[in-house]
Amino acid sequence: MSEKIYACLLRLYPARFRRHYQAEALQLFRDRMRDERGARRKLRLWADLLKDLAVGLPQAYRNTYPKAATAPEWQTAAGSPAFRTLEEEPLRPSSIVMGGLFAIAALALFISLMNHAAAYHPFSTSAGRLAAASAGSETNPDAQVVAEKIEEKMGRARQMENCSFEKLEQHPGNIGYVKLNWFPDSAPCREIAEGVMQRLNETDAIIFDLRDARGGSPEMVRLMAGWLFDHPVSWYNPRAVSPAQLVTNSPVPGSRLADKPVFVLTSSRTFSGAEHFAYNLKTLKRATLVGETTSGASHAGRGTAPSPLALSEPKPIWEGTGVPSDVRVDAADALRVAEKLAQSAIHTK
């Protein structure tokens, strides 16, 4: 106990003094405690120590403690590596026990934090995090909104990918060539479709290649066809849900396609919505179909229930039979034949 008190008093001395002399000062104290027995001598010892503090402390701070004079053991010749032992005394058992307890406490805290941080999954995908954020929307209502917005954007991007027209080319003789494998949904793709049709304004004839077209949106079929007329025409539409869909929206502002020859390439793989486009343009005598008879697939084949506003014929006229072409050639030759027909149509115009 007495030694601890004196060790505390020693802390008043400068660090450099303690570094050099603390062990010896404590040893001296222990020696005196051992040698000076009896209450009177012990009392004298403490009086000496207090007096010593008053005299020795200022002097300890006056000393300069040059390094060369006090730490010569670890200084070696220039260039040679040196190791300095800062603490030579072995660890006391109490220090080891305290260190162990602190380590266990730190580990327990770390484990506890890991268990309570389950909401954070650094290795999950962004979709997984969105789902987790949505699931935790009770605590974070914004997460739901953000997740919905992102999902909406991703959906729109997927649709935009599907807006792609396979080809838009200018063939010899200033023939506009559009290859379409799918009539995309009119809502997200209308602008793109209009862009394609505007480009066709600069051509003298148009070939729609529907030989690999699998179908698509009836509304897109009607919108694209509307560009080809200069006045509204009755539009056969077995899938119409409103009277407006039974007539083309011609004339479309900006369209100069009404007087241009139109050719539609068909094959036995031309399905559904593509047949719809081909059938109407053929019936309206607005286009020449070149190629093979279409597949004759049904609109209802896509699993949608017939609309109450649909015409009296719930199934398309071409279902089962297909749309016969005007110029019967193999699908492989259709483009070459159509180009010749277009060129002669341009010249005879």
Partner 1 sequence: MPKRKLDPLPAAAFHILLSLSAGDLHGYAIMRQVEAQTEGKVRLGPGTLYSSIQALLEERLIEEIEQAPAPDGSVSNSPKDRRRLYRLTPGGRKVARTEAERLAGILRIARAKKILRGEYV
Rounded to the nearest whole angstrom, what is the least distance from the CB of residue 2 to partner 1 in the complex? Answer: 13
For partner 1, give the closer residue by CB, 13 or 279: 13
For partner 1, give the closer residue by CB, 57 or 300: 57
Residue with tokens 């539009």: 235
Q: Which one, of 341, 198, 322, 229, lies nearest residue 272 by Cα?
A: 322
For residue 300, count CB atoms less than 10 angstroms from its CB and return exposed for 0-12, middle for 13-18, buried for 19 or more: middle
Write out the two tokens for 57: 């402390």
For partner 1, give the closer residue by CB, 63 or 344: 63
Rounded to the nearest whole angstrom, what is the least distance from the CB of residue 33 to partner 1 in the complex? Answer: 12
Rounded to the nearest whole angstrom, what is the least distance from the CB of residue 99 to partner 1 in the complex? Answer: 20
CA distances (Å), origin 296, targets 78, 166, 222, 273: 97, 23, 19, 11
Rounded to a whole number of angstroms, the CA Rg of the chain reads 47
Would you say 30 and 3 are in contact if contact means Cβ atoms under 8 Å apart? yes
For partner 1, give the closer residue by CB, 31 or 202: 31
- Residues contributing to the site for partner 1 (CB under 8 A): 10, 13, 17, 20-21, 23-29, 31-32, 48-49, 51-53, 55-57, 59-60, 62-66, 69-70, 88-89
Rounded to the nearest whole angstrom, what is the least distance from the CB of residue 95 to partner 1 in the complex? Answer: 15
The Cα 75–Cα 79 span in angstroms is 11
Q: Which one, of 2, 54, 70, lies nearest residue 32 by Cα?
A: 2
Rounded to the nearest whole angstrom, what is the least distance from the CB of residue 25 to partner 1 in the complex? Answer: 4
- 3-state DSSP assignment of residue 226: helix
Write out the two tokens for 118: 């389950």
For partner 1, give the closer residue by CB, 57 or 146: 57
Rounded to the nearest whole angstrom, what is the least distance from the CB of residue 9 to partner 1 in the complex? Answer: 9
For partner 1, give the closer residue by CB, 27 or 321: 27
Would you say 193 and 162 are in contact if contact means Cβ atoms under 8 Å apart? no
